[in-house]
């Protein structure tokens, strides 16, 4: 199924951006072998624990026995029972919070429902945006024949909004060969890489990955929505990191701000 663009007034794209005609073929299933060890704890108290989850580790156990290992189960060995209040994709690194009681989970859940929790991500992408800041508003839904992929659907998709800001040109370590220039692309998309700050208003599955790919700026290392140039680059992971998490403490309501820098 090819992704479609929304042509409504609610859908915005940076000027000059070009979406791919189709995303790459579904990748071969990966052998799930996350690195051992407890995720780095950024904040912990009797109500919640916040960790910097590494790329390649599930947030919660998967359905298959071989996908049972997860950040949740590892943390429960150290902190006892935990409740899930949000998730990160397996391939995404960064900050994720778990509640330590039902009451804390309910309070944090209400914050997510009301969208008062603030999150910011950092990503390395192919190309550069035409404008240093912008908004992407393209409705998303599950691409059922190719799940867990998501796709853009102007009719059946759920409203999905992402703000972005360019942080500068990106130097990728290890060095990645610059792609051959495609003269059919707008000039700004011919520049190899850039670093973006992403602020999602909504929290749809794969939202940031689909939105960036749809405007011609796929995230490096994205095996679902990326570019064929990713193959053989040696990147080895999705270059997307949940850097900032701001929430109200579930007990006394004070604002907490956590930040974890990406490894890239």
Q: What does the H/E/C string look like for 32-43?
A: CCCCCCCCEEEE
Task: Please state the rounded mean pLDDT for residues 4-14.
Answer: 37
Q: Is 89 a catalytic residue?
A: yes
> What pLDDT score was predicted for residue 187?
60
pTM of the model: 0.84
Q: Which of 45, 52, 69, 89 is catalytic?
A: 89
- CA–CA separation, 71 and 58 (whole Å): 6
- How far apart, in whole angstroms, are the C-alpha atoms of residue 7 and residue 13? 10
Residue 199 pLDDT greater than 90, yes or no:
yes
CATH class, domain 40-259, is: alpha beta
**Structure confidence at residue 260 as a pLDDT band (50, 70, 90):** very high
- pLDDT class of 13 with cuts at 50, 70, 90: very low
More confident residue, 215 or 27: 215
Q: Which of 55-59, 87-91, 173-177, 212-216 has the lowest mean pLDDT?
A: 173-177
**Rounded CA gap, 62 and 94, in Å?**
19
Q: What angle do CA 154, 150, 128 make, to 5 degrees?
A: 85
When pLDDT is cut at 50, 70 and 90, the band that residue 10 belongs to is very low
Share of the chain above pLDDT 70, in %: 78
- Predicted confidence at residue 227, as pLDDT, reads 84
Query: Domains of the chain: which residue ranges?
Result: 40-259
Q: What is the pLDDT at residue 109?
A: 98
| The pLDDT value given to residue 23 | 57
């Amino acid at each position: 199924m090819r992704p479609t663009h929304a042509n409504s007034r609610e859908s915005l794209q940076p000027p000059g951006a070009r979406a791919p005609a189709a995303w790459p073929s579904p990748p071969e299933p990966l052998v799930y072998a996350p690195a051992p060890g407890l995720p780095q704890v950024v904040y912990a108290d009797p109500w919640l624990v916040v960790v910097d989850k590494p790329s390649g580790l599930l947030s919660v156990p998967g359905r298959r026995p071989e996908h049972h290992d997860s950040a949740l189960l590892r943390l429960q060995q150290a902190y006892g029972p935990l409740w899930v209040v949000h998730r990160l994709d397996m391939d995404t690194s960064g900050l994720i919070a778990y509640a330590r009681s039902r009451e804390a989970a309910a309070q944090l859940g209400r914050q997510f429902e009301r969208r008062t929790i603030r999150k910011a991500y950092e990503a390395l992408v192919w190309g550069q945006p035409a404008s240093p800041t912008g908004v992407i508003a393209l409705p998303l839904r599950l691409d059922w024949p190719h799940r867990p992929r998501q796709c853009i659907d102007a009719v059946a998709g759920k409203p999905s909004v992402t703000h972005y800001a360019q942080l500068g040109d990106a130097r990728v370590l290890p060095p990645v060969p610059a792609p051959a220039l495609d003269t059919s692309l707008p000039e700004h998309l011919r520049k190899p890489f850039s670093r973006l700050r992403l602020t999602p208003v909504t929290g749809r599955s794969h939202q940031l990955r689909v939105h960036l790919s749809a405007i011609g700026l796929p995230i490096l290392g994205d095996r679902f929505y990326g570019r064929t140039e990713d193959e053989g680059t040696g990147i080895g992971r999705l270059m997307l990191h949940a850097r900032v998490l701001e929430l109200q403490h579930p007990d006394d309501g004070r604002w907490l701000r956590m930040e974890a820098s990406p490894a890239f």
